Amino acid sequence: MSTCIFCDIVEGKIPSEIAHEDHLAVAFHDVSPKAPTHVLVVPREHLEDLDAAQPGHESLLGHLILVAKEIATKEGLADGYRVVVNCGSDGGQTVDHLHVHLLGGRPLSWPPG
């Protein structure tokens, strides 16, 4: 049995509100949204975090960003949006499966906390 909640979501073992699915990635709405639109784009492959990415993952990483952009378009985020990857404890990562946050639907302050 998997111990990774995002692997369980990717495999359909845990329900989620799916925004996009393809052969490389799954995107679903965050259970605790920080903005009117808050979607997580995750690779089907279990990579713990961005640090675990290697040369050879370039196209996968690019794909995750492009999926985020496509969802932003579908969600109508014409005024802009933010794409974020938290890495490690200082980066605020709480789920150890690489994921890209897509946030939008309100003005987002900068810098983040």
Enumerate binding residues for ligand DGP (CB under 6 A): 5, 14, 16, 28, 30-32, 40, 86, 92-95
Cα distance between residue 75 and residue 77, in whole Å? 6
Q: Which of 103, 100, 112, 111 is nearest to 79 (CA)?
A: 103
Choosing from 38, 46, 57, 99, the catalytic residue is: 99
CB of 86 to ligand DGP, least distance (A): 3
Query: Which residues are registered as beta bridge partners of 93?
Result: none
Q: Are 37 and 102 in contact (CB under 8 A)?
A: yes
CB of 111 to ligand DGP, least distance (A): 16
CB of 57 to ligand DGP, least distance (A): 18
Catalytic site residue 99? yes
> Would you please indicate which residues are annotated as catalytic (active-site) residues?
99
